[in-house]
Amino acid sequence: MKMMNCKDATQLMSERYERTLSLRELLSLKVHTAMCKGCSNYGQHLDVLRQASARLRAGNTSGEP
Amino acid sequence: MTNASAQAASPPWDDVSITVIRRDMLRFARMQLRDSGAAEDMVQEALMAAMTSAKSFAGRSAFKTWMFAILRNKIVDHIRASSREICGADLAGSSDMDAGLEEFDVLFNRRGLWNPDDRPATWADPEASFEQDAFWTVFDLCMNKLPEHIARVYTMRELLELDTAEICAELGITRSNCFVILHRARLGLRECLENRWFQGEAR
């Protein structure tokens, strides 16, 4: 199996919200993000996108002008 | 139920609360429908439906949550009713479906690694950003920059919380195509938010 690159890692991090990843996928993702600050940030940013969606669904988007 | 709790359970239909809630409802509807006129109609319908069914409110949930549930259901009904046309008009053709998918590939080099300029940086305090109106203006803008069919799948998933099986069925696309589109939506939205908002904040 080839080394996971950033393109593959970002795709898996997105699919994590849609399906259960296999153990193999989870492990190679973990190895990749441990070494790659960009992808580790990317994973956190996807959580921020999730939180933003939750705010929009609740109508909680009226902030300080 | 005592008189006091019965009173507390009626929705607050004063002008100020309607104006405030309508603004947030419009943002939600516009993001989903990408058509100001249709969004206005949908919000109007939801408000009227809520006013005529105030008995079902019964204080079970917060007023806003209840209003947004009504709006969500209206939009889902609308999508289900019109999905056949959407499918036939601009989603069924696989060439259209793939349009705009490659443009995100430029974020990576030939070996599939982040280009230095596009590598995700650390975002400072997103919670604090959520509290600012300016952040949501940028968020709207970034959603609008996504190709329309990508935004449609993303908002069906994230704003309406439909599961991928239903999205596939409504739009006549495969599960893996759906996954790819959601992935591209997240790539594009994240990139835009970093460039237009978080880059200035974090440094």
* Phi, psi (rounded to 5 degrees) for B151: -60, -35
Read off the DSSP letter of residue B114: B
B-facing residues of A in 5-64 (CB < 8 A) are 5-8, 10-11, 14-15, 17-19, 37-39, 41-42, 44-46, 48-53, 55-64
Chain A residues within 8 A of B114 when measuring between CB atoms: 6, 38-39
B162-199 residue pLDDT tens: 999 999 988 999 999 999 999 999 999 999 999 999 98
Calculate mean pLDDT across residues A24-40.
95
Across the A:B interface, residue pairs with CB atoms under 8 Å apart total 108
Domains and CATH numbers, chain B: 1-88 (1.10.1740), 92-203 (1.10.10.10)
**Any chain A CB within 8 A of the CB of B169?**
no
Burial of B109 by CB count in 10 Å (0-12 exposed, 13-18 middle, 19+ buried)? middle
Could you tell me the two tokens for A39?
A: 């992808």
ipTM: 0.94
B138-172 confidence digits (pLDDT tens): 999 999 999 999 999 999 999 999 999 999 988 99
In one letter, which amino acid is A65?
P
At residue B21 the predicted structure's pLDDT band, cuts being 50, 70 and 90, is confident
- For residue B98 the two structure tokens come to 């793939």
Residue B93's pLDDT band (boundaries 50, 70, 90)? very low
> Quick one: pLDDT band at residue B2, thresholds 50, 70, 90?
very low
Q: Give B127: exposed, middle or buried? Use CB within 10 Å, 0-12, 13-18, 19+.
A: exposed
Instruction: Pull the structure tokens for residue B7.
Output: 């009173």
Instruction: Residue window 65-124, chain B: list those with CB within 8 Å of chain A.
Output: 65, 67-68, 72, 105, 108, 111-114, 119-123
Residues of A in contact with B126 (CB under 8 A): 48, 51-52
Residue B121 structure tokens: 């940086």
